[in-house]
Amino acid sequence: MGYNFKEIEKKWQKKWEEEGTFNAKNDYSNKKKWYGLIEFPYPSGQGLHVGHPRSYTALDVIARKRRLQGYNVLFPIGFDAFGLPAENYAIKTNVHPKITTAKNIAHFTEQLKSIGFSFDWSRVIDTTDPEYYKWTQWIFIQLYKKGLAYKATMPINFCTGCKVGLANEEVVNGVCERCGSPVVQKEKSQWMLKITEYAQRLVDDLDDVDFLEKIKTQQRNWIGRSEGAEVKFKIAGSNEELLVYTTRPDTLFGATYMVVAPEHKLIEKFSDKITNLSEIEEYKKQASLKSDFERGEMNKEKTGVEIKGIKAINPLTNKEIPIWVADYVLSGYGTGAIMAVPAHDTRDFEFATKFNLPIVQVVAPIDGSKVEMPFTDVETGVSVNSGFLTGLSVSDAKKKVIEYLEKNKIGVKKVNFKLRDWVFSRQRYWGEPIPMVYCEKCGWVPLDEKDLPLTLPEVADFLPGEDGESPLAKHTEWINTKCPHCGGPAKRETDTMPQWAGSSWYFLRYMDPHNNKELASKEALEYWSPVDWYNGGMEHTTLHLLYSRF
């Protein structure tokens, strides 16, 4: 038994390395190309976990087969290396994230090479490399120029532990996904990306991509396209109207009360008429301590306060109905107000039962049988107690009531999306600097593209400010700069980009990773696109693939 397996491995791995055996060829005349992509890893301090080789091995097998079949194969590897763990580690140990990241990448590289994966090591990407994030910043500037990046003050999910704004998907059961601390709502000026502008296309284009059906379904649910109507309810004794969006305008005759979000401007508008204002202000204060996720949870105990002193008018029954404020209605979703139809909506039913509000049945099973409330089945329902809609199926009643609303200028047909704009700032150090400066005269101005990359300054203190400011906000020498537009004094943005930034376009960079004139040449993009096979974990696919399509 003279074989030493380790020696044999070493011999061949050395040969692969020297000869670049698995490097993709820039031979664009070879029409047989194959691009296999694995989700590039976050280089954690623990090294590879078993999930990494699991999905890499599967695609490695295919890549090797494709090479033998004569394909020009692109099977690249890289590192998604910005993010909280390196920064939190730096806060604990005072070791700069740059140092930890380089060390971790070296460790990952050694492990991946010793397994013998047939990656193209000549195309390695590291999202924290200024030569890479230069293009991440460049993309941001293009989005800004197209009006797709903007600043807005909005309530954000704020982790009391990490002291950082979180995206909705980073809040799990009301606590921070990473550290487990409670998440509260906080008003903050944020960079936003206008992904909602593409909501319809992000639905439509799912027909053109070769994703697993369950991934398409998850994306459709996340985008949450619904068809319904926007309906105006008059406030009794005034010219003001309360606007609501409903997917069930056919149940309008059964709307027995309304609910507005605690932040709704109606409260301020009618503050002189509302007789229990202090009670409502107190309720609003309590609601601000909860995250959107907590507020939206189906199973939680319903809370709310009736707004006394004003009433709304149901536009079809012309009856005055009460207006409540409740935190399960979110100001950021729809119009921040709903019409409540307790007979046909589970949440409204629970609320009405708890607060003893009227429940009027307006849809019944087609066979006339008695059912328990709430009755939410739209397939077998027909309208009852509904004036001109009575006897119609749910879908016919929807059409007819929308016609009526539009004709009488009470409402319009409307498509709605659950998808929100994308909060694109983080008050953290270890991320791509946002290439924007603020000038008193010109407002927000992007950097000149020739001045990219805007590199992260070397700092020694990674702690976020007490009020949640970015650690960069302490570095005035870096912040103070000149306005690229008028040359006057200006200040740099101190927030950085979220970890999603670098991973949303990395598959394009692999096609032409050393290009220093553009993010990738048109020729390379046309040749290697699309990715032929992408392997990764189900838990990332919904948002990652949504963001990269955007």
Interface positions with Zn ion (CB under 5 A): 159, 161-162, 176, 178-179, 181, 439, 441-442, 483, 485-486, 488
The DSSP code for 371 is -
Min separation Cβ 423 and Zn ion, Å? 15
- Residue whose CB is less far from Zn ion, 181 or 303: 181
Min separation Cβ 485 and Zn ion, Å? 4
Min separation Cβ 87 and Zn ion, Å? 12
Cross-strand partners of 492: 437
- Residue whose CB is less far from Zn ion, 64 or 491: 491
Q: Which residue has the tokens 């696109």?
A: 529
- Residue whose CB is less far from Zn ion, 37 or 159: 159
DSSP codes of every residue in 17-69: HHHTTTPPP--TT---EEEEEEPPPP--TT---THHHHHHHHHHHHHHHHHHT
Cross-strand partners of 443: 439
Q: Which two tokens stand for residue 461?
A: 């203190």
As to burial, measured by CB atoms within 10 angstroms (0-12 exposed, 13-18 middle, 19+ buried), residue 309 is middle
Min separation Cβ 414 and Zn ion, Å? 37
3-state secondary structure of 269: helix
Min separation Cβ 167 and Zn ion, Å? 12
- Rounded to whole angstroms, how far apart are CA atoms 46 and 28? 39
DSSP codes of every residue in 121-180: EEEEEETTSHHHHHHHHHHHHHHHHTT-EEEEEEEEEEETTTTEEE-GGGEETTEETTT-
- Rounded to whole angstroms, how far apart are CA atoms 530 and 507? 10
Sequence-ordered list of residues with C-beta below 8 angstroms from that of 333, at least 6 positions apart, any chain: 418, 420
- Residue whose CB is less far from Zn ion, 439 or 452: 439
- Residue whose CB is less far from Zn ion, 176 or 364: 176
Host H or E run for residue 277 = helix 277-287
- Residue whose CB is less far from Zn ion, 274 or 423: 423
- Residue whose CB is less far from Zn ion, 180 or 457: 180
Min separation Cβ 300 and Zn ion, Å? 22
- Residue whose CB is less far from Zn ion, 162 or 280: 162
Cα-to-chain-centroid distance, residue 172: 14
- Rounded to whole angstroms, how far apart are CA atoms 251 and 339? 10
- Residue whose CB is less far from Zn ion, 266 or 490: 490
Min separation Cβ 46 and Zn ion, Å? 19
Q: Do β-strands 149-159 and 320-325 pair in parallel, antiparallel, or remain unpaired?
A: unpaired
Min separation Cβ 88 and Zn ion, Å? 9
Min separation Cβ 157 and Zn ion, Å? 10
Min separation Cβ 67 and Zn ion, Å? 44
Min separation Cβ 149 and Zn ion, Å? 18
Min separation Cβ 371 and Zn ion, Å? 45
3-state secondary structure 473-517: HHCHHHHEEECCCCCCEEEECCCECCCHHHHCCHHHHCCCCCCCC
Contact indicator for 430, 438 with CB cutoff of 8 Å: no
Residue 252's CB: how many other CB atoms inside 10 A? 27
- Residue whose CB is less far from Zn ion, 184 or 459: 184
- Residue whose CB is less far from Zn ion, 84 or 195: 84
- Residue whose CB is less far from Zn ion, 44 or 385: 44
As to burial, measured by CB atoms within 10 angstroms (0-12 exposed, 13-18 middle, 19+ buried), residue 517 is exposed
Torsion angles phi and psi, residue 492, rounded to 5: -75, 150
Min separation Cβ 39 and Zn ion, Å? 23
- Residue whose CB is less far from Zn ion, 391 or 489: 489
Q: Which residue has the tokens 């040749």?
A: 527
Q: Which two tokens stand for residue 397?
A: 């009643």
Per-residue CA distances from 396 to 244, 316, 379 (Å): 21, 17, 11
- Residue whose CB is less far from Zn ion, 92 or 370: 92
Q: Which two tokens stand for residue 4?
A: 């030493």
Min separation Cβ 266 and Zn ion, Å? 34
Contact indicator for 381, 364 with CB cutoff of 8 Å: yes
- Rounded to whole angstroms, how far apart are CA atoms 186 and 163? 11
